[in-house]
Amino acid sequence: MRVIILLLLLLPSVFCYSQLDNPSVYSKDVCHCLDSVGDVEKNFPDCLQFAIDRHRKELQDSTEYTDSLTQALMLNLEVNLITNCPTFFKFTDSAIQAAFQKSAVSNKDSLRHLLSITDTIPVLRRDSGYYGIRATIYYNLGQYQTALNEIDQYLIKVPNSAMGLFLKGKLLDLMGNYSDAVPLYDRVAEMTNNKAVLIYSAIARQKAKAK
């Protein structure tokens, strides 16, 4: 996602001298700036720098930083913006949906052919990955309810599969069951220590509130 790329490019210049201990302080200023100038993708770097400069005196100087620390801090800021800044939320949600559409498999016939192969070889059902493969195929075919049924079968066999839990969360998300998707995203983030999944969680949580 392009927003993430922008954030990562800014890390050294923004955080080589500071720690973002309270993201809500900065997100309020970033949001106000974005509301004023529009075009989130173009103006986000300048709005972030504006917020940092405004609170420069409040920053705790630091000559050392690590990539893992600064990425975590930036993630906290982004999640806070998704939660509290409608302009940023709408942009991030649209960017994720656009990326999803772009990554969709275009050759549906090959997917259906692969699906037919799994139907004709019963022995495959003994493998724990059988239902996971079918769920992924149905997901790419846009048949979300069928994909959900398949991933539920997969999770019976492999209940702690991060891939399976994330796919179930994504399917519920796409079907509008945002409240049910949130705890799955949160669980995957905790299991894998991949905090970027919390972006999906934050977006789903905001959509649940809007229903």
With contact defined as beta carbons under 8 Å apart, do 6 and 41 qualify? yes
d(CA 207, CA 211): 6
- Residue 54's pLDDT is 79
Q: What is the pLDDT of the chain when averaged over all its residues?
A: 79
What is the distance of C-alpha 3 from the center of its chain? Answer: 11
With contact defined as beta carbons under 8 Å apart, do 82 and 88 qualify? yes
Percent pLDDT > 70 in the chain is 75
d(CA 115, CA 51): 51
Q: What is the pLDDT of residues 174-188, one digit of tens each?
A: 999 999 999 999 999
- Residue 68's pLDDT is 47
Q: What is the pLDDT of residues 59-69, one digit of tens each?
A: 554 434 444 44
Q: Please determine, for residue 135, whether its predicted confidence score (pLDDT) is greater than 50.
A: yes
Q: What is the DSSP string of 120-145?
A: H-GGGGGSTTHHHHHHHHHHHHT-HH
Q: What is the DSSP letter of 63?
A: S
Where do the domains of the chain lie, and which CATH numbers do they carry? 2-102 (no CATH), 106-210 (1.25.40.10)
Closest CA to 50 of 60, 63, 35, 61: 35
The 3 state secondary structure assigned to the chain is CHHHHHHHHHHHHHHCCCCCCCHHHHHHHHHHHHHHHCCHHHHHHHHHHHHHHHCHHHCCCCCCCCHHHHHHHHHHHHHHHHHHCHHHHHHHHHHHHHHHHHHCCCCHHHHHHHHHHHHHCHHHHHCCCHHHHHHHHHHHHCCHHHHHHHHHHHHHHCCCCHHHHHHHHHHHHHCCCHHHHHHHHHHHHHHHCCCCHHHHHHHHHHHHHHC
What is the distance of C-alpha 93 from the center of its chain? Answer: 9
Give the confidence band of 86 by pLDDT, cuts at 50, 70, 90: very high
- Residue 147's pLDDT is 95
Q: What is the pLDDT of residues 89-103, one digit of tens each?
A: 998 998 888 877 776
- Residue 89's pLDDT is 92
- Residue 71's pLDDT is 60
Give the confidence band of 18 by pLDDT, cuts at 50, 70, 90: very low
Give Cβ neighbours of residue 192 (< 8 Å, ≥ 6 apart): 162
Higher pLDDT, 58 or 205: 205
